[in-house]
């Protein structure tokens, strides 16, 4: 009988080394070149043939069991955050893996190694596609927009871009395991929440007219005041947020003026608009844009908005959750998995994958300290954070794909996707991704629309 725990433990050194290297070499979205190269070298050493994304980081590989069955897609994400106050951040770029994507990468290498052993024993059916994907976090906005302008990418999110490139056209179901810090129940090792918010990412530019702030402020149009009015107007909208939709709007001013004695003529606001339903998110986004327009007009300013879909809301597949509970409990004992009604206010582009195939996005508990996305996040136990994650994923793959992949086939057969195909998903995204002026003035300065 194949022993999952023993099989993964054989590759601890591979996992340890990957976790250490990637933690020490953090890179943000679409520039994860060192991380992608490191992962590729390790996969090749394990005997895998890779299909590279080409002009961006990331790749996938397929383990073909030579037996008929569905194709299971398993992810790890390459990109880091950027947190200047984190003691281990890159001093030049401020990049740091404070979300634990380096854990995902290290764990996936362990999974890849064990799958080769399982293939030799003929334990699985179908195909397993292992994918390391860039740019999940949605940061370094202008750098990514520059890549769009150059035609390097079409979508700001890595999984969306890989969907666009056809990398997932043959896939039937998918999962990935994230990380989180422990909460009250110390026996729980894996949490399977109901899902998480979708998001529209916004960059808003208020444009006024500069003038000397002390001598002739009456000759200026204060873009900062327009932005401040807009933030207050957005706050006033909060009482219209629908209960139970988990709506969030959280703007920041990323550029507020350059000199205190000059009326600010350009102010940039960035914001996320999040929620549990994409139609409701779009409705709220229209309200936010209306508030931006009104506050610009109040000051006689102009306002330009750029909206990008970060992701669709994520709803985990219930059958995938039940199978995962069964598989992981067999390895770590009964009660080690919690299927929860918890809803995350965060967002992930795994939500886009979930609109066309059954998906599970679980959270391994333990082995890390501090807050996700915080300046104190760190791995304190590589075995619990990385090695145990690899064991869980191998157990899930085995349960799904053994015995002619009967469990995977059942899940695929009964699942109902929001959209019929990946092209349909991308068509919807394209309708939301906009860039436009929100107000227009006539030649004599009268607002006309």
pLDDT of residue 216: 96
DSSP letters, 148-164, are: HHTTS-S-SSHHHHHHH
**pLDDT (mean) for 306-311:** 95
pLDDT of residue 81: 97
Tell me if residue 98 falls in helix, strand or coil.
coil
Please name which of 131, 4, 41, 37 lies closest in space to residue 77, comparing C-alpha atoms: 131
pLDDT of residue 444: 72
Tell me if residue 50 falls in helix, strand or coil.
strand
CA–CA separation, 429 vs 312, rounded Å?
9
For residue 237, what is the DSSP state? Answer: G
pLDDT band for 359, please (50, 70, 90 cuts): very high
pLDDT digits (tens, 9 = 90+) for 144-159: 999 999 999 999 999 9
pLDDT band for 446, please (50, 70, 90 cuts): low
pLDDT digits (tens, 9 = 90+) for 341-351: 999 999 999 99
pLDDT digits (tens, 9 = 90+) for 12-50: 999 999 999 999 999 999 999 999 999 999 999 999 999
Q: Where are the beta strands (DSSP E) in 217-357?
A: 248-249, 252-255, 266-275, 302-311, 314-315, 337-339, 343-347
Q: pTM score, two decimals?
A: 0.94
**How many Cβ atoms sit within 10 Å of the Cβ of residue 16?**
16
**pLDDT (mean) for 157-165:** 98
pLDDT digits (tens, 9 = 90+) for 235-272: 999 999 999 999 999 999 999 999 999 999 999 999 99
Q: Is the pLDDT of residue 407 over 90?
A: yes
CB proximity list for 100: less than 8 A, separation 6 or greater: 178, 179, 368, 372, 377, 379, 385
CA–CA separation, 267 vs 253, rounded Å?
7
**Token pair for 22:** 């990637």
* pLDDT above 70 as % of the chain: 98
Tell me if residue 14 falls in helix, strand or coil.
helix
* Integer angstrom CA distances of residue 172 from 63, 200, 212, 273, 412: 15, 26, 62, 30, 7
Work out the angle between the directed axes of helices 101-120 and 33-45 (0-180°, nearest 10). Answer: 20
* Integer angstrom CA distances of residue 47 from 52, 54, 114, 120, 310: 15, 20, 12, 13, 35
**pLDDT (mean) for 365-391:** 96
Tell me if residue 288 falls in helix, strand or coil.
helix
**pLDDT (mean) for 280-285:** 96
* pLDDT above 90 as % of the chain: 94
For the chain, what is the mean pLDDT? 96
Q: Is the pLDDT of residue 183 over 80?
A: no
**How many Cβ atoms sit within 10 Å of the Cβ of residue 158?**
29
pLDDT of residue 138: 87
pLDDT of residue 234: 97
pLDDT of residue 92: 96
For residues 23 and 87, the answer to whether their CB atoms sit within 8 Å is no
pLDDT band for 315, please (50, 70, 90 cuts): very high
Q: Which residue has the tokens 């769009």?
A: 148
CA–CA separation, 128 vs 401, rounded Å?
9
**pLDDT (mean) for 200-220:** 97
Please name which of 300, 306, 304, 291 lies closest in space to residue 438, comparing C-alpha atoms: 304
pLDDT digits (tens, 9 = 90+) for 99-128: 999 999 999 999 999 999 999 999 999 999
Please name which of 394, 427, 397, 426 lies closest in space to residue 126, comparing C-alpha atoms: 397
Alpha helix (H) residue ranges in 46-191: 101-120, 141-149, 158-164
Q: Is the pLDDT of residue 448 over 70?
A: no
Tell me if residue 55 falls in helix, strand or coil.
coil
pLDDT of residue 182: 74
Please name which of 18, 35, 40 lies closest in space to residue 80, comparing C-alpha atoms: 35
pLDDT of residue 181: 84
pLDDT digits (tens, 9 = 90+) for 72-90: 999 999 999 999 999 999 9
Tell me if residue 369 falls in helix, strand or coil.
strand
């Amino acid at each position: 009988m194949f022993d999952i725990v023993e099989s993964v433990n054989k590759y601890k050194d591979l996992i340890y080394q990957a976790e250490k290297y990637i933690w020490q070499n953090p890179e943000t979205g679409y520039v994860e070149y060192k991380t992608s190269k490191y992962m590729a070298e390790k996969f090749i050493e394990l005997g895998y043939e890779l299909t590279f994304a080409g002009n961006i980081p990331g790749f996938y590989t397929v383990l073909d069991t030579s037996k008929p069955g569905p194709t299971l897609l398993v992810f790890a994400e390459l990109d880091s955050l950027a947190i200047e106050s984190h003691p281990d951040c890159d001093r030049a770029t401020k990049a740091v893996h404070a979300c634990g994507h380096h854990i995902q990468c290290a764990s996936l290498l362990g999974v890849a190694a064990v799958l080769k052993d399982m293939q030799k024993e003929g334990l699985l059916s179908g195909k397993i596609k292992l994918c390391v994907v860039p740019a999940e976090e949605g940061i370094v906005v202008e750098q990514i927009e520059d890549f769009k302008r150059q035609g390097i990418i079409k979508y700001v999110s890595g999984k969306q871009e890989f969907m666009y490139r056809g990398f997932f056209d043959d896939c039937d179901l998918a999962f990935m395991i994230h990380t989180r810090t422990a909460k009250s129940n110390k026996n729980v090792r894996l949490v399977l929440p109901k899902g998480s918010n979708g998001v529209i990412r916004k960059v808003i530019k208020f444009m006024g007219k500069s003038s000397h702030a002390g001598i002739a402020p009456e000759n200026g149009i204060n873009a900062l005041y327009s932005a401040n009015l807009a933030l207050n107007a957005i706050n006033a909208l909060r009482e219209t947020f629908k209960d139970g939709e988990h709506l969030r709007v959280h703007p920041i001013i990323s550029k507020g003026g350059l000199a205190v004695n000059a009326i600010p003529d350009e102010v940039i606001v960035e914001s996320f608009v999040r929620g549990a339903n994409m139609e409701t998110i779009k409705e709220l986004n229209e309200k936010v844009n209306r508030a931006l327009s009104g506050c610009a007009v109040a000051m006689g300013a102009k306002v330009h908005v750029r909206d990008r879909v970060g992701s669709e809301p994520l709803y985990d597949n219930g059958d995938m959750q039940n199978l995962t509970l069964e598989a992981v409990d067999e390895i770590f004992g009964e009660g080690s998995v919690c299927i929860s009604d918890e809803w995350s206010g965060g967002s992930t582009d795994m939500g886009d994958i979930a609109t066309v195939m059954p998906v599970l996005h679980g959270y391994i508990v333990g082995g890390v300290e501090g807050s996700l996305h915080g300046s104190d996040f760190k791995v304190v136990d590589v075995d619990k954070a990385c090695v145990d994650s690899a064991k869980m994923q191998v157990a899930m793959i085995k349960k799904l794909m053994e015995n002619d992949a009967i469990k995977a086939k059942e899940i695929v057969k009964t699942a109902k996707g929001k959209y019929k195909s990946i092209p349909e998903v991308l068509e919807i995204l394209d309708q939301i991704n906009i860039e436009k002026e929100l107000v227009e003035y006539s030649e004599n300065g009268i607002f006309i629309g």
